[in-house]
Structures are given as structure tokens and as C-alpha cells.
Amino acid sequence: MGPVSSRLPVFPWDRLDPYKAEAAAHPDGIVDLSVGTPVDPVPELIRRALADAADSPGYPTVWGTPALRDALTGWAERRLGARDLAHGNVLPVVGSKELVAWLPTQLGLGPGDKVAYPRLAYPTYEVGARLAGAEPVVYDEPTELDPAGVKLLWLNSPSNPTGRVLTADELRRAVAWAREHGILVFSDECYLELGWEAEPVSVLHPDVCGGSYEGIVAVHSLSKRSNLAGYRAAFLAGDAAVLGELLTIRKHGGMMVAAPVQAATVAALGDSAHVAEQRERYARRRAALRTAFEGAGFRIEHSEASLYLWATRDEPCWDTVADLAKRGILVAPGDFYGAAGERFVRIAFTATDERVAAAVARLAEG
């Protein structure tokens, strides 16, 4: 048997290294708008909760503390409009990337099974399918998929990379189609709190799921809403039977969220003030970058939510990457997210105000 890594594509970010080096050589330094990694401080109340739980000598549980489960169900009911969630409807995970990459394997999918995800998508959906030996398939519209062999359907609204938001109606149609064909839906909603020109809706909202969680699970992450990418804090909410099965498997696999991170998650989900504050920062940076890139001849598509501008100058994405790197600005080429993105770049607004101002000034210089 060949090494498992041979099933996987080249790690895309390695291909950006030469451009990163070129951008870093700019006399005023690089403005890195490529990876969507938070740069602002972890809110004080979250750090305090983490520190207060530092004396955690024993093993945490995979299901999390009862306080954590209360925080997860409470937040999902308040923020997503989900109704009547019990502890059996939630499961903490060690960051959502881990979950996306290993879910097909944990569900027992393999050769002959298909995992479907959007044509332009976060690359880890494909990685998860390939790690399990299942077949990755892409869709433009989920209900147009041939359902034969499809075992898992990924939805992602707001979308990475395009920032597109699916309406409640579009989500409802996708969920109804999947239920009709007995296909499990996982809805990656990690940018749900970052809607700018649209209000993202969860699959757990009664308008979408009809008040039943059968066959649906929402994936949430604290990485973006609470600047906690370094903590690896995420969770699932939805179908109790699916989550019960995953809990059993994950217990055997030892996939435990660290106890101090569990405590930090409780604090983070109990507070919305820091989310509003962070949103304000991103809204300012987004507006400044949007104006600057449009002024520099870019057209922005979708981008009504998430942490990105999906932009094109109607040329191959690597030409755009190369040109911007000369000006010390690093962006992600659209083909990282699928061949359909080959004439787009993804511009993250996860950079400090000072770096965003530097990018704006460089773009204005032409």
C-alpha cells in the first residue's frame, strides 16, 4: 500500500512561498492578506477563563463538561434560532478543520462512497474524502447532484472563498433533497457571525429544518468570531443519533478538547460584546480594502459575508498574485479553492489596521 499522503493534493500554501518571499522584500514589509488567520487580541474575558482553568490535571471528556454543553445549546438557541436542543444534540471538537478532515473516516465512509461539496470550496472537504478513500464530487447546486453513492453533503454558508450566503429557501431545498435521498448534511457555518450585506441563516433554524434535526449537523468554530484560532475551539450541533455515533468513535480515538479551552469556550459563547467589537474592526478593514481594490481595477463578486473579498481583474489568478507580491501584498490564488477560481484571488481582511492602511496606500500608488 502506498503512503496515505499520495492520496492528497500538494499542500497548496507551499506554492505561495516564492510570492511570500517577494512580498516580504518590500521596504515597508509584507501586507499578508492570504491566510484568514485572526490578528487581533484574544478578548480579556476569554483569556481569564482559560487561565482560571489552568489547573486541570485530569483528562477532559470528549463530550465536554456539562457547563460547556449548556453553553453550546444555549448559544445555538439564542444565536441560530434552534429550538429544544438537548446535550445529545451537541459535541465539542478540536477545531473545525480537524472535524472536516476526519469526518468521512469517522463516519466509516470509504471506496464506493461519495462526499459532495461546493465547486469552489475550502480544500479540506476534498482532503477529508480522500483520507477516507471516498470519492470527492463537486456541485454547483446540490439538488442537481446524482444522489447515487453520495453519503455526505457539505454545505458552506457563508462560503469560503466567495463569501456567498445561501438563503433560508436555498438551504431548505438542499436539506429536503438530502433527506429525500437519505444523505447526511453537514453545514459548515464557521462564518455565520460575519455577515455584512446578508444575514446568514443556520440549517438548524426552523425555517430551514422544519424543527427536526434529522440528518443535519451544523459545524461552528470560535476561531473567527472570537479570535480563537490558536485555541482550537469548535463544536457540532444537530442530529443526536449522528453525534452519538461520533461521540463513541471519538472517545476511542481520544479527540478531547483541552479542559482550559472548554472553559474558555463557555466564557466566549456567553459574551456577544467582543463579537460586535471584532465585527466593527473587520467592517472597517473590509470597506477600506474593497474601495482600494476596486480603485485598482478589481471587480468584487459575492463577498456579502465571511472574512474575504473574492476579487478578479479578469486575468489568471497567479498573474494577479505575482503583480500584488511586487507591491508587497500577498493574496491567495483562487485556484486553491477549485479550478473554477482560476481567474480570482481571495483577499482576507485579517490584517491589522496599520497593515491594511499600508495596502491601501500601495494600491493607490498604482
Which residues bind to ligand PLP, rule: CB under 6 A? 36, 95-97, 100, 122, 156, 160, 188, 190, 221, 223, 229, 234
Q: Report the alpha-carbon distance of residue 133 to residue 136 in Å, rounded.
A: 9
Q: Report the alpha-carbon distance of residue 349 to residue 329 in Å, rounded.
A: 12
Task: Find the shortest distance in angstroms from Cβ 93 to ligand PLP.
Answer: 8
C-alpha cell at 34: 492570504
How many other C-beta atoms are found inside a 10 Å radius of the C-beta of residue 255? 19
Burial 187-222 (b: 16+ CB within 10 A, else e): bbbbbbbbbbebebbbbbbeebbeeebebbbbbbbb
**Which of residues 296 and 309 has its CB atom nearest to ligand PLP in the complex?**
309
Q: Report the alpha-carbon distance of residue 242 to residue 258 in Å, rounded.
A: 23
How many other C-beta atoms are found inside a 10 Å radius of the C-beta of residue 351? 23
**Which of residues 39 and 357 has its CB atom nearest to ligand PLP in the complex?**
39
Task: Find the shortest distance in angstroms from Cβ 155 to ligand PLP.
Answer: 10
* Residue 190: closest CA among 100, 282, 110, 314: 100
- At residue 185, φ and ψ (nearest 5 deg) are -105, 125
**Which of residues 102 and 213 has its CB atom nearest to ligand PLP in the complex?**
102
Q: Report the alpha-carbon distance of residue 174 to residue 350 in Å, rounded.
A: 31
Pairing state between β 234-238 and 329-330: unpaired
**Which of residues 80 and 229 has its CB atom nearest to ligand PLP in the complex?**
229
**Which of residues 53 and 190 has its CB atom nearest to ligand PLP in the complex?**
190
- Strand, coil or helix: what is 208? helix
Task: Find the shortest distance in angstroms from Cβ 310 to ligand PLP.
Answer: 13
Task: Find the shortest distance in angstroms from Cβ 191 to ligand PLP.
Answer: 7
**Which of residues 97 and 205 has its CB atom nearest to ligand PLP in the complex?**
97
Task: Find the shortest distance in angstroms from Cβ 35 to ligand PLP.
Answer: 8
Task: Find the shortest distance in angstroms from Cβ 220 to ligand PLP.
Answer: 8
Q: Report the alpha-carbon distance of residue 269 to residue 84 in Å, rounded.
A: 18
Task: Find the shortest distance in angstroms from Cβ 32 to ligand PLP.
Answer: 15
Task: Find the shortest distance in angstroms from Cβ 364 to ligand PLP.
Answer: 29
**Which of residues 100 and 360 has its CB atom nearest to ligand PLP in the complex?**
100
* Residue 331: closest CA among 16, 109, 117: 16
**Which of residues 195 and 328 has its CB atom nearest to ligand PLP in the complex?**
195
